[in-house]
Amino acid sequence: MGDLSGKTAVVTGSTSGIGLGIAKVLAARGANVALNSFSDTESDHAVAAEVAKLATGGARALYVQADMSDPEACVRLIRKAEAEFGAVDILVNNAGVQFVSPVEEFPVAKWDQILAINLSSAFHTARAAIPGMKQRNWGRIVNIASAHGLTASPYKSAYVAAKHGLVGLTKTIALEFAEEKIKATCNAICPGYVWTPLVAGQLADQMKAHGMTKEEVLEKIMLARQPSREFATVEQLGGTTAFLCSEDAAQITGTTISVDGGWTAL
Protein backbone atom coordinates (compact mmCIF):
# COMPACT_ATOMS: atom_id res chain seq x y z
CA MET A 1 0.00 0.00 0.00
CA GLY A 2 1.33 3.43 -0.93
CA ASP A 3 1.77 6.41 1.38
CA LEU A 4 -1.18 8.20 -0.26
CA SER A 5 -3.65 5.38 0.27
CA GLY A 6 -7.09 6.58 1.28
CA LYS A 7 -6.56 9.92 -0.48
CA THR A 8 -8.20 11.11 -3.68
CA ALA A 9 -6.46 13.30 -6.26
CA VAL A 10 -7.81 15.37 -9.13
CA VAL A 11 -5.23 16.15 -11.83
CA THR A 12 -6.42 18.63 -14.46
CA GLY A 13 -5.19 18.18 -18.04
CA SER A 14 -3.87 14.70 -17.42
CA THR A 15 -4.33 12.69 -20.62
CA SER A 16 -0.75 13.40 -21.71
CA GLY A 17 2.59 14.82 -20.66
CA ILE A 18 3.21 16.07 -17.14
CA GLY A 19 -0.35 15.61 -15.87
CA LEU A 20 -0.37 11.96 -16.94
CA GLY A 21 3.06 11.43 -15.34
CA ILE A 22 1.75 12.90 -12.08
CA ALA A 23 -1.46 10.82 -12.23
CA LYS A 24 0.59 7.63 -12.64
CA VAL A 25 2.83 8.36 -9.66
CA LEU A 26 -0.08 9.34 -7.37
CA ALA A 27 -2.00 6.17 -8.34
CA ALA A 28 1.09 4.02 -7.74
CA ARG A 29 1.36 5.61 -4.27
CA GLY A 30 -2.19 4.48 -3.53
CA ALA A 31 -4.34 7.55 -4.28
CA ASN A 32 -7.59 7.40 -6.23
CA VAL A 33 -7.13 9.63 -9.27
CA ALA A 34 -9.60 11.57 -11.39
CA LEU A 35 -7.96 12.28 -14.74
CA ASN A 36 -9.25 15.10 -16.92
CA SER A 37 -9.19 16.80 -20.27
CA PHE A 38 -11.63 18.77 -22.43
CA SER A 39 -12.47 15.95 -24.87
CA ASP A 40 -14.44 12.75 -24.28
CA THR A 41 -12.92 10.08 -26.50
CA GLU A 42 -12.30 6.38 -26.10
CA SER A 43 -8.62 7.07 -25.80
CA ASP A 44 -9.22 9.50 -22.89
CA HIS A 45 -10.97 6.70 -20.98
CA ALA A 46 -8.28 4.21 -22.06
CA VAL A 47 -5.59 6.45 -20.54
CA ALA A 48 -7.46 6.41 -17.22
CA ALA A 49 -7.77 2.60 -17.46
CA GLU A 50 -3.97 2.37 -17.92
CA VAL A 51 -3.45 4.55 -14.83
CA ALA A 52 -5.90 2.35 -12.89
CA LYS A 53 -3.65 -0.66 -13.62
CA LEU A 54 -0.79 1.09 -11.80
CA ALA A 55 -2.92 1.88 -8.75
CA THR A 56 -2.04 0.13 -5.49
CA GLY A 57 -4.01 -0.78 -2.39
CA GLY A 58 -7.38 -0.89 -4.14
CA ALA A 59 -7.18 2.68 -5.44
CA ARG A 60 -9.16 3.52 -8.58
CA ALA A 61 -8.75 5.89 -11.51
CA LEU A 62 -11.40 7.36 -13.76
CA TYR A 63 -11.70 9.96 -16.49
CA VAL A 64 -13.82 13.12 -16.15
CA GLN A 65 -14.40 15.33 -19.18
CA ALA A 66 -14.35 19.02 -18.24
CA ASP A 67 -13.10 22.02 -20.20
CA MET A 68 -10.87 24.02 -17.86
CA SER A 69 -11.64 27.24 -19.76
CA ASP A 70 -15.22 26.96 -18.43
CA PRO A 71 -15.70 27.94 -14.73
CA GLU A 72 -18.77 25.72 -14.33
CA ALA A 73 -16.93 22.73 -15.78
CA CYS A 74 -14.11 23.29 -13.25
CA VAL A 75 -16.62 23.01 -10.40
CA ARG A 76 -18.29 19.99 -12.05
CA LEU A 77 -14.92 18.18 -12.15
CA ILE A 78 -14.46 18.58 -8.40
CA ARG A 79 -18.08 17.60 -7.63
CA LYS A 80 -17.84 14.51 -9.85
CA ALA A 81 -14.63 13.35 -8.11
CA GLU A 82 -16.23 13.96 -4.71
CA ALA A 83 -19.30 11.96 -5.76
CA GLU A 84 -17.21 9.04 -7.10
CA PHE A 85 -14.56 8.87 -4.39
CA GLY A 86 -16.11 10.69 -1.42
CA ALA A 87 -13.54 13.50 -1.25
CA VAL A 88 -10.92 15.57 -3.06
CA ASP A 89 -7.84 15.62 -0.85
CA ILE A 90 -5.23 16.46 -3.48
CA LEU A 91 -5.78 18.96 -6.27
CA VAL A 92 -3.16 19.25 -8.99
CA ASN A 93 -3.83 22.18 -11.33
CA ASN A 94 -1.84 21.18 -14.38
CA ALA A 95 -3.90 21.99 -17.50
CA GLY A 96 -2.10 24.55 -19.61
CA VAL A 97 -1.71 25.84 -23.14
CA GLN A 98 0.77 28.15 -24.86
CA PHE A 99 0.70 30.71 -27.67
CA VAL A 100 3.61 32.79 -28.94
CA SER A 101 3.25 36.27 -30.48
CA PRO A 102 4.43 39.88 -29.96
CA VAL A 103 2.14 41.73 -27.52
CA GLU A 104 0.74 44.12 -30.13
CA GLU A 105 -0.26 41.21 -32.39
CA PHE A 106 -1.38 38.84 -29.64
CA PRO A 107 -4.96 37.71 -30.46
CA VAL A 108 -7.31 38.86 -27.69
CA ALA A 109 -9.16 35.53 -27.77
CA LYS A 110 -5.84 33.67 -27.22
CA TRP A 111 -4.97 35.93 -24.27
CA ASP A 112 -8.39 35.22 -22.70
CA GLN A 113 -8.09 31.47 -23.35
CA ILE A 114 -4.60 31.18 -21.83
CA LEU A 115 -5.58 33.21 -18.75
CA ALA A 116 -8.72 31.06 -18.36
CA ILE A 117 -7.00 27.65 -18.66
CA ASN A 118 -3.60 28.39 -17.11
CA LEU A 119 -4.74 30.66 -14.25
CA SER A 120 -8.50 31.05 -13.64
CA SER A 121 -9.19 27.29 -13.73
CA ALA A 122 -6.94 26.90 -10.67
CA PHE A 123 -9.05 29.50 -8.83
CA HIS A 124 -12.30 27.76 -9.78
CA THR A 125 -11.15 24.22 -8.88
CA ALA A 126 -9.53 25.38 -5.61
CA ARG A 127 -12.63 27.37 -4.69
CA ALA A 128 -14.72 24.21 -5.16
CA ALA A 129 -12.30 21.83 -3.41
CA ILE A 130 -11.21 23.91 -0.38
CA PRO A 131 -14.44 23.57 1.68
CA GLY A 132 -14.02 19.76 1.68
CA MET A 133 -10.34 20.06 2.62
CA LYS A 134 -11.28 22.35 5.52
CA GLN A 135 -13.99 19.95 6.66
CA ARG A 136 -11.55 17.00 6.71
CA ASN A 137 -8.70 19.22 7.99
CA TRP A 138 -6.27 17.93 5.37
CA GLY A 139 -5.44 18.97 1.85
CA ARG A 140 -2.77 19.48 -0.76
CA ILE A 141 -2.98 21.86 -3.70
CA VAL A 142 -0.13 21.62 -6.19
CA ASN A 143 -0.14 24.15 -9.03
CA ILE A 144 2.00 23.34 -12.05
CA ALA A 145 3.41 26.75 -12.91
CA SER A 146 6.65 27.09 -14.89
CA ALA A 147 10.07 28.72 -14.93
CA HIS A 148 7.92 31.33 -16.68
CA GLY A 149 6.13 31.83 -13.35
CA LEU A 150 9.40 33.33 -12.06
CA THR A 151 11.09 34.75 -15.16
CA ALA A 152 9.90 35.95 -18.57
CA SER A 153 10.63 35.32 -22.23
CA PRO A 154 9.68 37.55 -25.14
CA TYR A 155 6.48 36.74 -27.09
CA LYS A 156 4.92 34.67 -24.30
CA SER A 157 2.98 37.49 -22.60
CA ALA A 158 -0.19 35.58 -21.74
CA TYR A 159 1.66 32.45 -20.59
CA VAL A 160 4.14 34.42 -18.45
CA ALA A 161 1.35 36.57 -16.96
CA ALA A 162 -0.80 33.52 -16.20
CA LYS A 163 2.04 31.56 -14.62
CA HIS A 164 3.17 34.54 -12.48
CA GLY A 165 -0.49 34.88 -11.45
CA LEU A 166 -0.63 31.20 -10.55
CA VAL A 167 2.38 31.64 -8.25
CA GLY A 168 0.57 34.56 -6.57
CA LEU A 169 -2.63 32.54 -6.15
CA THR A 170 -0.55 29.73 -4.63
CA LYS A 171 0.87 32.04 -1.95
CA THR A 172 -2.55 33.47 -1.07
CA ILE A 173 -4.22 30.06 -0.68
CA ALA A 174 -1.30 28.89 1.48
CA LEU A 175 -1.67 31.90 3.78
CA GLU A 176 -5.41 31.34 4.12
CA PHE A 177 -4.84 27.68 5.09
CA ALA A 178 -2.21 28.79 7.62
CA GLU A 179 -4.39 31.62 9.03
CA GLU A 180 -7.23 29.18 9.62
CA LYS A 181 -4.93 26.47 11.02
CA ILE A 182 -5.94 23.91 8.42
CA LYS A 183 -3.55 20.97 7.88
CA ALA A 184 -3.35 21.78 4.22
CA THR A 185 -0.67 23.22 1.96
CA CYS A 186 -0.54 24.95 -1.40
CA ASN A 187 2.61 25.10 -3.50
CA ALA A 188 3.67 25.63 -7.09
CA ILE A 189 6.09 23.51 -9.09
CA CYS A 190 8.05 25.50 -11.67
CA PRO A 191 9.40 23.20 -14.39
CA GLY A 192 11.87 24.25 -17.05
CA TYR A 193 11.78 22.15 -20.20
CA VAL A 194 10.21 18.74 -19.55
CA TRP A 195 10.39 15.87 -22.04
CA THR A 196 6.76 15.36 -23.16
CA PRO A 197 5.19 14.31 -26.48
CA LEU A 198 4.54 18.01 -27.13
CA VAL A 199 8.21 18.89 -26.69
CA ALA A 200 9.28 15.90 -28.82
CA GLY A 201 7.11 17.32 -31.61
CA GLN A 202 8.65 20.78 -31.15
CA LEU A 203 12.13 19.25 -31.44
CA ALA A 204 11.26 17.62 -34.75
CA ASP A 205 9.75 20.90 -36.06
CA GLN A 206 12.83 22.92 -35.03
CA MET A 207 15.20 20.42 -36.70
CA LYS A 208 13.25 20.85 -39.94
CA ALA A 209 12.86 24.64 -39.67
CA HIS A 210 16.55 25.32 -38.95
CA GLY A 211 18.09 22.41 -40.89
CA MET A 212 19.85 21.42 -37.66
CA THR A 213 20.65 18.09 -36.04
CA LYS A 214 18.85 17.04 -32.88
CA GLU A 215 21.98 17.87 -30.84
CA GLU A 216 22.27 21.35 -32.40
CA VAL A 217 18.62 22.21 -31.72
CA LEU A 218 18.90 21.02 -28.12
CA GLU A 219 22.18 22.90 -27.47
CA LYS A 220 21.50 26.14 -29.36
CA ILE A 221 17.72 26.54 -29.09
CA MET A 222 15.64 24.38 -26.79
CA LEU A 223 17.97 23.84 -23.84
CA ALA A 224 19.91 27.09 -24.23
CA ARG A 225 18.36 28.44 -20.99
CA GLN A 226 18.50 25.15 -19.06
CA PRO A 227 22.06 24.95 -17.65
CA SER A 228 21.91 21.17 -17.05
CA ARG A 229 21.28 20.82 -20.82
CA GLU A 230 18.92 17.99 -19.93
CA PHE A 231 15.13 17.79 -19.91
CA ALA A 232 13.28 17.09 -16.69
CA THR A 233 11.10 13.98 -16.95
CA VAL A 234 7.40 13.56 -16.23
CA GLU A 235 8.38 10.90 -13.66
CA GLN A 236 10.45 13.54 -11.81
CA LEU A 237 7.47 15.91 -11.85
CA GLY A 238 5.31 13.07 -10.48
CA GLY A 239 7.85 12.40 -7.73
CA THR A 240 8.03 16.09 -6.78
CA THR A 241 4.23 16.26 -6.59
CA ALA A 242 4.06 13.10 -4.46
CA PHE A 243 6.67 14.60 -2.11
CA LEU A 244 4.60 17.77 -1.70
CA CYS A 245 1.62 15.54 -0.85
CA SER A 246 3.57 13.63 1.83
CA GLU A 247 3.74 14.35 5.56
CA ASP A 248 7.46 15.21 5.15
CA ALA A 249 6.28 18.28 3.22
CA ALA A 250 3.61 19.34 5.72
CA GLN A 251 5.51 22.56 6.55
CA ILE A 252 6.32 23.40 2.94
CA THR A 253 3.63 25.83 1.88
CA GLY A 254 3.19 29.00 -0.15
CA THR A 255 6.37 28.45 -2.08
CA THR A 256 7.72 27.38 -5.46
CA ILE A 257 9.89 24.36 -6.23
CA SER A 258 11.88 24.73 -9.42
CA VAL A 259 12.53 21.59 -11.47
CA ASP A 260 14.43 23.43 -14.17
CA GLY A 261 18.02 22.18 -14.37
CA GLY A 262 19.24 25.53 -13.00
CA TRP A 263 17.28 27.86 -15.35
CA THR A 264 16.25 30.30 -12.60
CA ALA A 265 19.70 30.24 -10.94
CA LEU A 266 21.25 32.03 -13.90
Please give the residue ranges that form the binding site for ligand NAD (CB under 6 A): 12-19, 36-38, 67-69, 94-97, 117-118, 144, 146, 191, 193-194, 196-199
Minimum Å gap between C-beta 5 and ligand NAD is: 25
Q: Is the dihedral of CA 135, 54, 16, 221 positive or negative?
A: positive
Nearer to ligand NAD, 69 or 170 (CB): 69
**Contact 222/212 with Cβ under 8 angstroms?**
no
Q: Nearest 5 degrees, angle CA 68-CA 156-CA 19?
A: 40
Minimum Å gap between C-beta 159 and ligand NAD is: 7
Minimum Å gap between C-beta 183 and ligand NAD is: 27
Nearer to ligand NAD, 127 or 134 (CB): 127
Minimum Å gap between C-beta 257 and ligand NAD is: 13
**H runs (alpha helix) in 86-211:** 108-115, 121-136, 157-179, 197-210
Question: Distance between CA atoms of 245 and 22, rounded to whole angstroms?
Answer: 12
Nearer to ligand NAD, 16 or 56 (CB): 16
Question: Distance between CA atoms of 144 and 9, rounded to whole angstroms?
Answer: 14
159 as an active site residue: the answer is yes
Question: Distance between CA atoms of 77 and 29, rounded to whole angstroms?
Answer: 22
Beta-strand runs (E) in the chain: 8-11, 32-37, 61-65, 90-93, 139-144, 184-191, 194-195, 232-233, 256-259
Amino acid at 148: H
Minimum Å gap between C-beta 175 and ligand NAD is: 23
Nearer to ligand NAD, 36 or 157 (CB): 36
Find the catalytic residue in 63, 155, 159, 193. 159
Q: Is the dihedral of CA 138, 144, 146, 151 positive or negative?
A: negative
Nearer to ligand NAD, 31 or 68 (CB): 68
Residues with a catalytic annotation lie at: 159
